[in-house]
Amino acid sequence: MDSDVFTFLVGGKAGEGVKKAGSVAAHIFSSIGQHVFQMDDYMSLIRGGHNFSVVSTSPRWISSQYMNANLVVNFDQRSYKIHKNDIAENGIMIFNLDEQEIDNGIGISLTTEAEKYPMKELMFGVGAIAILAATIGFEKEEMKQMIEEEYPRGIEDNISFANTIYDIVYPACGKKFYLERGDKKRSILTGNEAISFGAVAGGLDVYFGYPMTPASSILHTLAREAENFGLAVVHAESEIAVINMAIGSSFTGARAMVGTSGGGFALMVEGFSLAGMTEAPVLVVLSQRPGPATGVPTYTEQADLAFALTAAHGDFLRIVASPTTIREAYYLTAEMLDLVWKFQTPGILLTEKHLSESSMTIEAELEKSKWAEPKIHKEGEYKRYLDTDDGISPMLFPPSKKIIKWNSYEHDELGITTENAKMISFMHDKRNKKLDSLIDYLKGQKTVKIIRGENPTNIFTYGSTYMSVLEALKYGRLNPTTIAPIYLSPLPIWEIEEFKDHDNIVIEQSSTGQFTKLLNERAGLKIRNTIKQYDGRPFDPIDLSNQIKEVLK
């Protein structure tokens, strides 16, 4: 395993504080100046299902979890069996002795000790933090301060239990993995938090959502922050209501965003077409999980790409972009909010569970965020769908003495219904002008991430898989050129056409190779090989590094 990475893995039943323990571990690492990547793996069960959190940390920027962990803490026998092979060389396994007989590892009677306290089921997570604190060289006072901050309920019991576990563990593995302290505490955000705050930075006024994993925490985050930022946040009765309410809000001039996953977006498709016809600036966050149908609700995949690119009926411009990192999710959300208003058309921020729910240490400069501003009508006769050189009509919002007419039916420039053949073609042409205008604009923006290397083979990827690829290349000391389009519709062919006759491979999480097909069909790229993973789990950098090596031979 890469010597500059330390990984902590904690596993147990849902309801035992596993995810919280992972989150606290991430904050411990960031508090001492380390970079962090945290991934949570959980079944679609409120209680009883197997959960685990894996947190990798390094003095350098780190962009993926490592499943080979230096310290593994398991609360039950099932977790032990699942993770007994996830131990890195010279790593430590600590397990709940009350759940099984002594085997490979260090047994601690977690259940027996937890029984002494009223909130016994929630004590396991505190115990995991005590074990971590002992092994990385935290003193008891440092541990006590962290527990007071992160576990405000039952503080005295939590500290007492943590001290007991710390004292049991310390003789066997105290300071086994001592981590050096840095002088800079780093901020940690999940992808969905970055999307939420990016939308606020871009001028968001209203958010509509119907909970659907893995987009649900956008609704939770914005609801929590609504008062701080003057937002209207609405938990609507269905996804159909969500998209239509967002379109109605945009009619009033409110910058609206919605969030969902594949199944929810399927219900929004008719409304998405309505936004195309009315030229309504609505931003949809589509966070992918495995499908079809219910699929595997709490896991990750990249199989909604073709759906996002073609969803809805009729011809109209839609903008689709996918953030490659959590930091980029912040900026790109603001940028997409600006673009849908600038070009008066719906857009999709396409991401995945892996980015949405994973956490990273990030640094962001707020003043670099885009701010959504529409073209505004100033004087004279008002035509909502006025034909212009760039296809973008000036907007006007109520209250106004002028008539503002949006129409789902084909219409003329005033918005009045028409079935006239010439007018139908005229309005199609008017709307289609926006594509050329958008491409001209995007040519002045960063639309593709390119890291140039010396190996003659290029790697194409997109979305959160980019983070996995970067970490795999770092681990394997590999140096191909890496190309990740941020915009997928329109695809920035002007940026990637230089690789047309090169040796290219693709890395993606779709069983049918949807991204490979996109590059081939729209950019004419020849793809020699596609590395695919579609088991609902993100790539592990060590496994991916080995696969890349085989393809590069």
pLDDT tens-digit readout, 518-543: 999 999 999 999 999 999 999 999 99
Q: Picking from 79-88, 94-103, 111-120, 212-221, which range would have the lowest pLDDT averaged per residue?
A: 94-103
**Pairing between β-strand 69-74 and β-strand 6-13 as defined by DSSP bridges:** parallel
Say if residue 214's pLDDT is above 60.
Answer: yes
Specify whether 164 is located in the same domain as 98: yes
Sequence-distant (6+) residues with CB within 8 A of 162 are: 126, 127, 129, 130, 133, 143, 144, 147
Specify whether 234 is located in the same domain as 169: no
CATH number at 71 reads 3.40.920.10
Percent of the chain with pLDDT over 70: 99
CATH number at 507 reads 3.40.50.920
- The sign of the CA dihedral 405, 411, 416, 422 is positive
Give SS3 for 58. Answer: strand
Specify whether 216 is located in the same domain as 341: yes
Say if residue 1's pLDDT is above 60.
Answer: no
pLDDT for the residue 184: 84
Specify whether 432 is located in the same domain as 455: no
Specify whether 280 is located in the same domain as 410: no
pLDDT band at 340 (very low <50, low <70, confident <90, very high): very high
Q: Give the number of domains in the chain.
A: 4
Percent of the chain with pLDDT over 90: 93
Domain end position, chosen among 368, 393, 411: 368
Specify whether 455 is located in the same domain as 431: no
Asked whether residue 179 is domain-assigned, the answer is: no
Beta carbons within 10 angstroms of residue 264's beta carbon: 23
Specify whether 474 is located in the same domain as 392: no
Q: pLDDT tens-digit profile of 272-295?
A: 999 999 999 999 999 999 999 999
CATH number at 225 reads 3.40.50.970
Asked whether residue 542 is domain-assigned, the answer is: yes
Specify whether 244 is located in the same domain as 383: no
Backbone φ and ψ of 269, nearest 5°: -60, -40
Say if residue 2's pLDDT is above 70.
Answer: no
List the beta bridge partners of residue 505: 459, 529
Q: Span 486-504, mean pLDDT?
A: 97
Specify whether 19 is located in the same domain as 167: yes
b/e code 239-250 from CB counts within 10 Å (16+ = b)? bbbbbbbbbebb
Say if residue 366's pLDDT is above 70.
Answer: yes
Asked whether residue 205 is domain-assigned, the answer is: yes
Domain end position, chosen among 368, 396, 411: 368
Instruction: Give the domain extent around 297.
Output: 189-368
Q: Span 116-123, mean pLDDT?
A: 86
Backbone φ and ψ of 32, nearest 5°: -105, 20
Asked whether residue 180 is domain-assigned, the answer is: no
pLDDT for the residue 553: 79
Asked whether residue 181 is domain-assigned, the answer is: no
pLDDT for the residue 3: 78
Asked whether residue 1 is domain-assigned, the answer is: no
Q: pLDDT tens-digit profile of 301-339?
A: 999 999 999 999 999 999 999 999 999 999 999 999 999
Specify whether 441 is located in the same domain as 478: no
Q: Span 347-357, mean pLDDT?
A: 98
Specify whether 280 is located in the same domain as 346: yes
Asked whether residue 236 is domain-assigned, the answer is: yes
Which of these, 126, 80, 119, lies nearest to 101 by C-alpha position?
Answer: 80
Cβ burial of 373 (10 Å; 0-12, 13-18, 19+) is exposed
Give SS3 for 464. Answer: coil
pLDDT band at 110 (very low <50, low <70, confident <90, very high): very high
Q: DSSP E strands: which ranges in 75-220?
A: 87-96, 106-108, 187-190, 206-209
pTM, entire model: 0.96
Asked whether residue 103 is domain-assigned, the answer is: yes
Q: pLDDT tens-digit profile of 136-161?
A: 999 999 999 999 999 988 999 999 99
Q: Is residue 59 a contact partner of residue 70, using CB atoms and an 8 Å limit?
A: no
Q: pLDDT tens-digit profile of 232-279?
A: 999 999 999 999 999 999 999 999 999 999 999 999 999 999 999 999
Specify whether 151 is located in the same domain as 201: no
pLDDT band at 99 (very low <50, low <70, confident <90, very high): confident
Average pLDDT, the chain: 95
Q: pLDDT tens-digit profile of 38-96?
A: 999 999 887 889 999 999 999 999 999 999 999 999 999 999 999 999 999 999 999 99
Give SS3 for 193. Answer: helix
Backbone φ and ψ of 261, nearest 5°: -120, -170
